[in-house]
């Protein structure tokens, strides 16, 4: 059984960069800021490529919904081993308004078009921390979902997935086709080395718009304000336990 795997990759602000709130307080500064592939998506691509190396998958398609520069993110995925890419172009001004529901609808449409058997996504994006796209995609497709995967094994037409949950680890079986979301410990992604980057230049990236897929990207909600977290106040040292109790009473903690 040879699967065609669709993997979503998102271009996000690099995790090491210090975020700044925009002067209009409706978002963060993204112009000129260093971006890279969402770390969980790197893990997703790595897992899909490993499935291909184990001959469980026959093709890995990397998908990104984003501005023109999202092509660089797709190129990185291609350099890691994906076979071809699909870039759903979103105008720069609308990128931050794109919601998990829109992406899920886009992914569902692409699954139909590409006749994919497996969708692997990162569990969440490090900019919005939504943790919703995989679940919504599965729901729209009416496919089983295996989220927060830390191990994936294939058993006859089914996937055995170990999930990281609050209480520990949960192992479930899901029938294919399915949607999986990758968690941190699933694998350690390979580096996109220069020879592979050079080879990736020859791989194809198809371009399209959300409207071409019949997906409406109108926002469902409006951002009212984005603000920095409050500055941490300095603490004080107290002399003894009695003073501590007094202080705690003063501030209404006890």
Which chain residues interact with another protein by CB under 8 A?
A: 14-18, 20, 23, 32-34, 36, 188-191, 193-195, 197-198
Q: How far is the CB of 16 from another protein (least distance, A)?
A: 3
Q: How far is the CB of 36 from another protein (least distance, A)?
A: 7
Beta-carbon contacts of residue 54 (< 8 Å; ≥ 6 apart): none
Which CB sits closer to another protein, 34 or 220? 34
Which CB sits closer to another protein, 39 or 131? 39
Which CB sits closer to another protein, 23 or 235? 23
> Which among 216, 223, 206 has a CA at the least distance from the CA of 71?
206
Q: How many CB atoms within 10 Å of residue 248?
A: 12
Beta-carbon contacts of residue 73 (< 8 Å; ≥ 6 apart): 9, 10, 11, 35, 36, 37, 64, 66
Which CB sits closer to another protein, 18 or 54? 18
Q: How far is the CB of 192 from another protein (least distance, A)?
A: 8
Secondary structure element (H or E) that encloses residue 141, with its range: helix 133-141
Q: How far is the CB of 17 from another protein (least distance, A)?
A: 4
Which CB sits closer to another protein, 188 or 242? 188
CB 85 within 8 A of CB 203: yes
Q: How far is the CB of 104 from another protein (least distance, A)?
A: 30
How far is 94 from 206, CA to CA, in rounded Å?
A: 20
């Amino acid at each position: 059984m040879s699967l065609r795997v669709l993997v979503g990759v998102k271009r996000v602000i690099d995790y090491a960069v210090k975020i700044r709130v925009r002067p209009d307080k409706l978002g963060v500064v993204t112009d000129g800021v260093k971006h890279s592939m969402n770390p969980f998506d790197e893990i997703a691509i790595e897992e899909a490529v490993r499935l291909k190396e184990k001959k469980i998958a026959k093709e890995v398609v990397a998908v990104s919904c984003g501005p023109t520069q999202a092509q660089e993110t797709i190129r990185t995925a291609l350099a890691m081993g994906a076979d071809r890419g699909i870039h759903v172009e979103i105008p720069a001004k609308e990128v931050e308004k794109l919601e998990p529901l829109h992406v899920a609808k886009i992914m569902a449409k692409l699954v139909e078009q590409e006749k994919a058997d497996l969708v692997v996504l990162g569990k969440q994006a490090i900019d919005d921390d939504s943790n919703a796209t995989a679940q919504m995609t599965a729901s729209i497709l009416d496919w089983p979902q295996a989220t927060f995967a830390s191990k994936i094994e294939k058993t006859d037409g089914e996937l055995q997935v170990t999930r990281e949950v609050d209480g520990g680890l949960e192992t479930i079986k899901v029938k294919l086709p399915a949607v999986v979301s990758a968690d941190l410990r699933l694998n350690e992604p390979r580096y996109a080395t220069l020879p592979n980057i050079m080879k990736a230049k020859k791989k194809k990236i198809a371009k399209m718009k959300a409207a071409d897929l019949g997906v409406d990207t109108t926002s469902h909600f409006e951002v009212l304000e984005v603000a920095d977290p409050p500055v941490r106040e300095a603490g004080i040292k107290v002399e003894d336990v009695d003073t501590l109790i007094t202080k705690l009473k003063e501030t209404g903690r006890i």
